[in-house]
Amino acid sequence: MASDKVKTFSDADFETTVMQSATPVLVDFWAEWCGPCRMIAPTVDALATEMDGKVVVGKLNVDDNPMTPGRFGIRGIPTLLLIKGGKVVEQVVGVTDKTRLKALIEAHV
């Protein structure tokens, strides 16, 4: 079950909700058909709940929103970007464990 703490981003709102956010934002670039994306989803959901108030966590469907992945050179999914102050400060491509993701986030909050 998805956490209610996970936001949904789109091409239309990415600039205001992510790039201009005062809080660091973890963006999960994913697609419905992507098996590894489904594998990492519970980890992303758990981090959204555990890190609530420290970081905003959200997902961007690459099939529905092609402009933003292109802007960041996303070539494979899942790709997770940690954006702070309008800049990408961390990038993880592929499935990774919760401990590693949490450590990357905590280094920037």
Q: What is the Cα–Cα distance from 10 to 38, expressed in whole angstroms?
A: 19
Which is the catalytic residue, given 6, 18, 26, 37? 37
Dist. CA 20–CA 24, nearest whole Å: 10
Catalytic choice (18, 34, 41, 57): 34
Is residue 34 annotated as a catalytic residue, yes or no? yes
Q: If you ran DSSP here, which 8-state letter would residue 2 be given?
A: -
Task: Please tell me the number of Cα atoms within 13 Å of 7 on its side-chain side.
Answer: 14
How far apart, in whole angstroms, are the C-alpha atoms of residue 44 and residue 58? 8
Question: CA-based Rg of the chain, rounded to a whole angstrom?
Answer: 12
Which residues are known catalytic residues?
A: 34, 37
